[in-house]
Amino acid sequence: MGAVDVETNRRRSCPPHPPTRPAAVPAGDVDLAVLLVPGTSREVLSRLSAGIEGALGVDADVVDLVTSTPVLGFEIVAHGRRIFERDALAADEAEERCLREYLDTEHLRRVQHHYLYGDPL
């Protein structure tokens, strides 16, 4: 992939989706979260995704953990698995931020579900 101005401090892999293809064909896709250096072009995610897809032969979804939504960030941290870290402190801080944002927005989701689905407050 060459020299990319990306600091992949950590990557997390979410569990693969259930297989929907014959056993001879790789099943599911790869879900990957990366921690990019601030100011890095969003194009890097597309290039990284294309590189992974080319190497593995399966679809790859790549997201920047810093710009992810609170729910997606929580899902990554809660159910994913860290497979690489260049800077453990930065990786831990990003995980903590995701958990904090998820907890901080819990009331907003509860109110939203109340108005959309009639859930109790």
Residue 2 forms part of a structural domain = no
**The two structure tokens encoding residue 98:** 């995701």
Using one digit for the tens of pLDDT, what is the confidence trace for 60-86? 999 999 999 999 999 999 999 999 999
Q: CATH number, domain at 111? A: 3.30.460
Structural domain range at position 94:
10-117
Q: How many CB atoms lie within 10 A of CB 116?
A: 8
Q: What average pLDDT does range 86-90 have in this prediction?
A: 94
| Contact in structure between 52 and 83 (CB atoms under 8 Å) | no
The pLDDT value given to residue 66: 92
**pLDDT tops 60 at residue 91:** yes
Number of structural domains found in the chain: 1
Residue 25 forms part of a structural domain = yes
Residue 27 forms part of a structural domain = yes
The pLDDT value given to residue 26: 56
Using one digit for the tens of pLDDT, what is the confidence trace for 26-51? 568 899 999 998 889 989 999 999 99
**The two structure tokens encoding residue 62:** 């790549």
